[in-house]
Structure 1
């Protein structure tokens, strides 16, 4: 690992050919996925006129990733990680291509969506496990910042542009375009990333069942004080997702319309992009490592101020500030987590981190909805910020003890 005082420019990371290939492939996939979510929502609502079925289909683009992340992430340790990503991309291209067939029964569409989302888990785990092999030292942290910036930006553009594109063409064509992005991603990874051997190859007689691999991965993570602190830090997102989850009722409480809902939901990603630029480009890594626990606490403070029931513009600024601080600790927290994992369990650990993150965000959104019906949106956001900051205090203390002994 390079010295922590060394700074790396974004251009230096983009100069690494393997990273460029992985970054471009990810950008294509994220943009295509956002387009597909819009296309699916439009397609299902056009065919059923049911808000429930539309919401259910949209949920299927997220929820099965939890199962895939837990049970299938070990594929990235058992087999060469580039090959896992390429095969998953090809499988998703075929499945999404089938979804684009006009007149496909709704149950078949939902089944295909479920399988595609299930495959997101092993792909993301293999991707996260491979990145430390492509980028070393401080270039890895800067690369994580670049990925965060482009991912957040692609989501914003994908949602906005996807709606316009689907309106201009056809939902089925939109799904077809998503299938093409997976094919392009597979080609980029195959040609632009060199093949590496499996981190934990298994013989025919010595293959460990997936469930046993999951247990081993969990023991590695929760048996290490540093990994425990880092994974808990990342899971604080369960508290800080509240503004996005309550965007519609929050806007209604301000007597604002649908445009305000979109602005509220965009505030966190905008803050995330700013945080990625500031901490990825200008803050030395050794300082990031020292302060991530404190940033976990500070990320809740802007949300606490919502108890004052601020205006829309001030609320957006507070949400953006929280997103900026949360991104700062999340980028370095994830980078430190992946570095600390043994290579043989890196993909499994990555799957556990991302699966837990999805679960925390889902439970956080669910709890926020229940509380908002009783307390109101602004007080609920404030309470989530307060509880998140309080929970972050022992996490920060635990990480400080680990970091001090590095």
Structure 2
């Protein structure tokens, strides 16, 4: 660990070379992915003039992650996590590079997009499983805050800058840049992260089938009330994603122009960045661990205010506050969840948690769209906030009981048990 008087500060965590390699690799991948999504949307629409096919191709940059996150996440337990990240990065670099080939049939392009997305699941699971080994004690919480700040910022910049860049060059060049980001990411991980043996060292663990690994990982999470409660807390995002997904009709209901759509969509990520700074720098891990249930409840309250039909600027402020509070419970919820998983099941557990998170966000987005047509966008956001708050209350009560029964926090144990 880097020397210094504040081992849990942002600068001290960024001084850890292994974390820096993982962080830069992920940052490059996120920027490249956002650019690729814009490039694919433009490329397919120009070739087909079909909004439906464009939407299908865009969906393929998300949906296969569900399959990869469930069935392939166990790779990160049975193989070296560094090797899993390197292999999946280079496989994705090759697949994206093939998309640049002129005259690529649309069906084959869709297959390549889906396969590329599929390999994102095991990469993310292995990366999340590796972080608690690289960062110790409160460093892990700070590291997660740094990741949240930079990845949220990268998504906003990737979408905004991606549109400008693709317009200035071409979709094919955008895809080529994405392929390069995967290759560079793989090199950063290969030479910046220490190779460690597989976490599942028992002979039975190494030979375990994908299906058996998945079911045993699901049973582990379901049977442990602590893990089950933390997963439920993280999955509250299914309610709180609704404002972002219906930003266009909500802006129209406010009588605002097209530019307002982007402002409304950016409000939550901006709040998340602020939340990452606040909870990463100024709120201790012990306090965060105690209040994450309350933060889950509080994140829905700003959205409830949409019953009052606030204007554009008040709506942006409300969405940003919700995003800030949601970041507080999300960062610490993931930290507590990962620490409570046995190392030999950590990648599988991370895959299940993140896959479920994507699923509930997709369901929330779909339900929000349908409900907005029935009762209007403002009422839909208010209903989502009310429902999220009500669902979060028993989760917060369950977490309060669990946390009170643990006289020494998991984070404290981790900090004391490692050098």
What does 1:40-59 align with in structure 2 at a 5 Å threshold? 40-59=40-59
Structure 1 position 89 matched with structure 2 position 80: no
Structure 1 position 183 matched with structure 2 position 161: no
Pair 306,202 (structure 1): closer, same or farther in 2 beyond 3 Å: same
Question: Residues 200 and 206 of structure 2 are in contact (CA less than 8 Å); yes or no, is this contact kept in structure 1?
Answer: no
Corresponding position of 1:247: 247
Gaps of 5+ in 2: 1-5, 407-419
Q: Any idea what the Cα deviations from partners look like across 1:250-281, whole Å, max 9, x if unmatched?
A: 01101112111111110000000000000011
Corresponding position of 1:3: none
Corresponding position of 2:147: 147
* TM-score where L is the length of structure 1: 0.97
d(CA) in 2 for partners of 1:106, 1:390: 45
d(CA) in 2 for partners of 1:311, 1:291: 31
Corresponding position of 1:288: 288
Corresponding position of 1:304: 304
Question: Residues 34 and 155 of structure 1 are in contact (CA less than 8 Å); yes or no, is this contact kept in structure 2?
Answer: yes
Deviation at 1:57, TM superposition (A): 0.5
d(CA) in 1 for partners of 2:205, 2:24: 38
Corresponding position of 2:402: 402
What does 1:3-402 align with in structure 2 at a 5 Å threshold? 8-201=8-201, 203=203, 207-402=207-402
Deviation at 1:201, TM superposition (A): 3.7
Pair 316,94 (structure 1): closer, same or farther in 2 beyond 3 Å: same
d(CA) in 1 for partners of 2:222, 2:340: 12
d(CA) in 2 for partners of 1:204, 1:292: 37
Pair 206,304 (structure 1): closer, same or farther in 2 beyond 3 Å: closer
Does the residue aligned with 1:101 lie in a helix, a strand or coil?
Answer: coil
d(CA) in 2 for partners of 1:284, 1:125: 26
Deviation at 1:50, TM superposition (A): 0.6
d(CA) in 2 for partners of 1:311, 1:238: 24
d(CA) in 1 for partners of 2:25, 2:323: 25
d(CA) in 2 for partners of 1:252, 1:153: 26
Q: Any idea what the Cα deviations from partners look like across 1:198-252, whole Å, max 9, x if unmatched?
A: 0014659961111111111011111111101100000000000000111111011
Does the residue aligned with 1:68 lie in a helix, a strand or coil?
Answer: helix
Q: Any idea what the Cα deviations from partners look like across 1:337-382, whole Å, max 9, x if unmatched?
A: 0000000100000000000000100000111111111110000100
Deviation at 1:405, TM superposition (A): 1.3
Q: Any idea what the Cα deviations from partners look like across 1:127-179, whole Å, max 9, x if unmatched?
A: 00000000010000000000000000000111111111111111001100000
Does the residue aligned with 2:318 lie in a helix, a strand or coil?
Answer: helix
Does the residue aligned with 1:178 lie in a helix, a strand or coil?
Answer: helix
Question: Residues 240 and 300 of structure 2 are in contact (CA less than 8 Å); yes or no, is this contact kept in structure 1?
Answer: yes
d(CA) in 2 for partners of 1:205, 1:266: 43
Q: State the number of aligned residues.
A: 401
Pair 187,365 (structure 1): closer, same or farther in 2 beyond 3 Å: same
Does the residue aligned with 2:207 lie in a helix, a strand or coil?
Answer: coil
d(CA) in 2 for partners of 1:396, 1:403: 10
Question: Residues 78 and 202 of structure 1 are in contact (CA less than 8 Å); yes or no, is this contact kept in structure 2?
Answer: no
* TM-score where L is the length of structure 2: 0.94
Gaps of 5+ in 1: 1-5
Question: Residues 292 and 329 of structure 1 are in contact (CA less than 8 Å); yes or no, is this contact kept in structure 2?
Answer: yes
d(CA) in 1 for partners of 2:296, 2:67: 27
d(CA) in 2 for partners of 1:203, 1:133: 22
Question: Residues 307 and 378 of structure 1 are in contact (CA less than 8 Å); yes or no, is this contact kept in structure 2?
Answer: yes
Pair 388,172 (structure 1): closer, same or farther in 2 beyond 3 Å: same
